[in-house]
Structure 1
Amino acid sequence: MTPANQRTLVDNASVKALLARGRKLATPPLRAAVARLAPPMDTVASYHFGWIDADGRPSEGDGGKAVRPALALLSAEVAGAEPEAGIPGAVAVELVHNFSLLHDDLMDGDEQRRHRDTVWKVHGPAQAVLVGDALFALANEILLEQGTAEASRAARRLTRATRRLIDGQAQDISFEHREQVTVQECLEMEGNKTGALLACAVSIGAVLGGADEETADFLESYGHHVGLAFQAVDDILGIWGDPDATGKQTWSDLRQRKKSLPVVAALAQDGPAAERLGTLLRADAGKSQAEFEDFDEDQFAARAALIEEAGGREWTSQEAQRQYTSALAALDKIEMPDRVREELTALADFVVVRQR
């Protein structure tokens, strides 16, 4: 076995252990927090997290990969604290993340998440809105009831990240109604929508563990760049991803007419493919959603092929690598145990490189 293969196995084992620890430590208090919600919101939230099925029976779902809780717990160790110090932050960030998913699924009209019907599809739009709002309020409650100065600092960071997340969703929706969006605008939107909460996740545990503001800021920079890299990969999967792996329809982002990075980057290029793509997308903009949903697979495949031919897929892949490199550079500015640095690197590798 080559050293590179050995490193891959070690990194994968390390990441699996970190994610398992995140689920083990964060899930019980997360369930306890959700149980505070008034019926039927507690049941609806439990369905969303995958703990029960649509009929209320216990389910095997684990609520996702637990990347954010894993980052929150690991960041507590950057500050020299035990990982348990980051549990309130891990729970709070996971609550905000799922608040955003509930609302995004409704606004985007997504009917599937993690291979199951979304909450609005099963329980109705009103419940999706109410449960999302409740999870957001609950996140701040979990932090502030700790009653410490560190908890107040953490709550400020979470509130700021949530506001940026909402800004990003608003920008994303506005892009759907604009003919032109620049690459820089798209990166700013994704930095808000995805990068802000990952940045918060990887700093909030450190704050709860007693880290100073400079350390927390550098950790936020790492998380911000990881978030942008993650979203770039997600944008690639949103067009070319395997539905069995993503849990979404084929050509998902194209069906929703999203101006994601591959699309915007392709349109920014010179050449016949970019011109043909622009002509098609301008014509698409004049169609109703009902007309658009009548497209056959070949029509979506043709658009995806033009995006790739124009260079949008390759540019986005390279941008993911650029952001990944910037994330690791931010870690170089922080003193921390070698093991913790290696594990933060492995997590960045997992959410970016291993998905491609």
Structure 2
Amino acid sequence: MTDLKELQLLIEEAVNKLSFPNHPAELYEPISYILSIGGKRLRPALLLMACDLFGGDVKAAVPPALAIEVFHNFTLMHDDIMDNAPLRRGKTTVHERWNPNVAILSGDAMLVEAYKLLMQIDNSILRPALILFNQMGSAVCEGQQIDMQFEQRDNVSLEEYLDMIRLKTAVLLGCALEIGALAGGANKANAELLYTFGERLGIAFQLQDDILDVYGDPEKFGKQVGGDIIANKKTWLLIKALELAGERERAELDKWLLAKTFDVAEKVKAVTAIYDGLGIRQLAAEAMQAFATEAYQALEQIKVETERKQQLRYFADNLLNREK
């Protein structure tokens, strides 16, 4: 079995070899730019890991893995416009470096490039791979739209939130793994189990991110701790706190949620104190662990030798025990 770092390196080399037309420069240069500013390449590496799990040709699976990476970066390019974000991975975002219209059109071109890469998969699995990719693409857009709608709503249920992160984040992991499984020659049952592993892991990953945003070590987390609290973002922690809050806690939460001007550190401290009083961190950790358990159970059911599944289990362990 090839380990994760080797697969990430393989993807990085393949990304660096991608070439796009020189003209018109403002259409293609932003694509090369956003792909060049890094990222962990985890999603495409997962596709290769799934292919390897079933004894497939990892190098032959590089094009569909690149399709996943290009698609992922296309969504980031458009997300940055919607969020009016100035930075992506510490570098100027495409819409800031060029302009929003360039970023929209370059993002559209990236989506086309992702399909070109996916089309290089073996013809015997092209149709199911395209179906998976299309379902995933629609789901990610649905998740983003629902997330934006949440910003305008006062009440969001935990069930709605979990479905939103499933669509926006988790289905891409599931899709990468299932396409990789198909490329490796897996049967339908094993491929679908691997999708479930990825989807459940993706939800657990996002819940871990919600926890780290409030309780992470600022030195390790890599971004401002408490950013979700400052932005009134409807995360699992806030939704659960609103659900459990008594009259006093609810009044305090509402005060901070409605405040137009506030001291950032004071707001983060006050809301975190409410979370602490309600035991929100522990409850969120338990919810995360429940989804992680479902992921591991799906992996366990896949009918290949246990030792061949070790890399995926190791990947999941590291993802869910990270500090950033």
TM-score of the superposition, structure 2-length normalised? 0.90
- Decide whether the 8 Å contact of 2:12 with 2:41 is kept in 1: no
The answer to whether 1:134 aligns with 2:109 is yes
The equivalent of 1:90 in structure 2 is 65
Q: CA 1:301–1:223 in 2, change beyond 3 Å: closer, same or farther?
A: same
Cα distance in 2 for partners of 1:124, 1:42 equals: 14
Cα distance in 2 for partners of 1:250, 1:108 equals: 18
User: After superposition, what is the alpha-carbon deviation per residue over 1:82-116, rounded to whole angstroms, capped at 9, x for unaligned?
Assistant: 32232122111111111111122221233233223
- Deviation, structure 1 residue 244: 5.0
What letter is aligned with 1:352? Answer: L
- Decide whether the 8 Å contact of 2:61 with 2:121 is kept in 1: no
Cα distance in 2 for partners of 1:193, 1:219 equals: 18
Cα distance in 2 for partners of 1:244, 1:119 equals: 27
- Deviation, structure 1 residue 345: 0.4
Point out the more displaced range, 119-128 or 86-95.
Answer: 119-128
Point out the more displaced range, 33-42 or 332-341.
Answer: 33-42
The equivalent of 2:223 in structure 1 is 248
Cα distance in 2 for partners of 1:238, 1:47 equals: 28
What letter is aligned with 1:331? Answer: L
Q: CA 1:39–1:339 in 2, change beyond 3 Å: closer, same or farther?
A: farther
- Decide whether the 8 Å contact of 2:173 with 2:202 is kept in 1: yes
The equivalent of 1:332 in structure 2 is 300
What secondary structure is seen at the aligned counterpart in 2 of 1:81? coil
Choose which of 1, 26, 48 in structure 1 pairs with 2:34: 48
User: After superposition, what is the alpha-carbon deviation per residue over 1:152-205, rounded to whole angstroms, capped at 9, x for unaligned?
Assistant: 221211111111111111111111110010111100001111110011111111
- Deviation, structure 1 residue 312: 2.8
The equivalent of 1:258 in structure 2 is 233
Q: CA 1:218–1:163 in 2, change beyond 3 Å: closer, same or farther?
A: same
The answer to whether 1:345 aligns with 2:313 is yes
The answer to whether 1:35 aligns with 2:10 is no
Q: CA 1:319–1:81 in 2, change beyond 3 Å: closer, same or farther?
A: same
Q: CA 1:279–1:97 in 2, change beyond 3 Å: closer, same or farther?
A: same
Cα distance in 2 for partners of 1:245, 1:98 equals: 24
The answer to whether 1:313 aligns with 2:281 is yes
User: After superposition, what is the alpha-carbon deviation per residue over 1:222-246, rounded to whole angstroms, capped at 9, x for unaligned?
Assistant: 0001100110111123334455544
- Deviation, structure 1 residue 119: 2.4
Choose which of 137, 143, 151 in structure 2 pairs with 1:162: 137
- Decide whether the 8 Å contact of 1:266 with 1:308 is kept in 2: no
Gaps of 5+ in 2: none
1:183-262 → structure 2 map (5 Å cutoff): 183-242=158-217, 244-262=219-237
The equivalent of 1:125 in structure 2 is 100
Cα distance in 2 for partners of 1:177, 1:146 equals: 41
Alignment size in residue pairs:
323
1:15-26 → structure 2 map (5 Å cutoff): 18-26=3-11
- Deviation, structure 1 residue 272: 5.1
- Deviation, structure 1 residue 273: 6.1
Identity fraction in percent: 31
Q: CA 1:23–1:282 in 2, change beyond 3 Å: closer, same or farther?
A: closer
- Deviation, structure 1 residue 147: 5.7
- Decide whether the 8 Å contact of 1:195 with 1:224 is kept in 2: yes
The equivalent of 1:276 in structure 2 is 251
- Deviation, structure 1 residue 330: 0.2
User: After superposition, what is the alpha-carbon deviation per residue over 1:11-30, rounded to whole angstroms, capped at 9, x for unaligned?
Assistant: xxx9xx73322232223333
TM-score of the superposition, structure 1-length normalised? 0.82
What letter is aligned with 2:291? Answer: Q
What secondary structure is seen at the aligned counterpart in 2 of 1:335? coil
- Deviation, structure 1 residue 217: 0.9
Q: CA 1:207–1:183 in 2, change beyond 3 Å: closer, same or farther?
A: same
Q: CA 1:341–1:274 in 2, change beyond 3 Å: closer, same or farther?
A: farther
Q: CA 1:311–1:257 in 2, change beyond 3 Å: closer, same or farther?
A: same
Cα distance in 2 for partners of 1:343, 1:128 equals: 37
What letter is aligned with 1:305? Answer: A
CA RMSD, aligned part only? 2.4
The equivalent of 1:171 in structure 2 is 146
- Decide whether the 8 Å contact of 2:230 with 2:264 is kept in 1: no
- Deviation, structure 1 residue 74: 0.9
What secondary structure is seen at the aligned counterpart in 2 of 1:355? coil
Gaps of 5+ in 1: 1-13, 52-60
- Decide whether the 8 Å contact of 2:4 with 2:311 is kept in 1: no
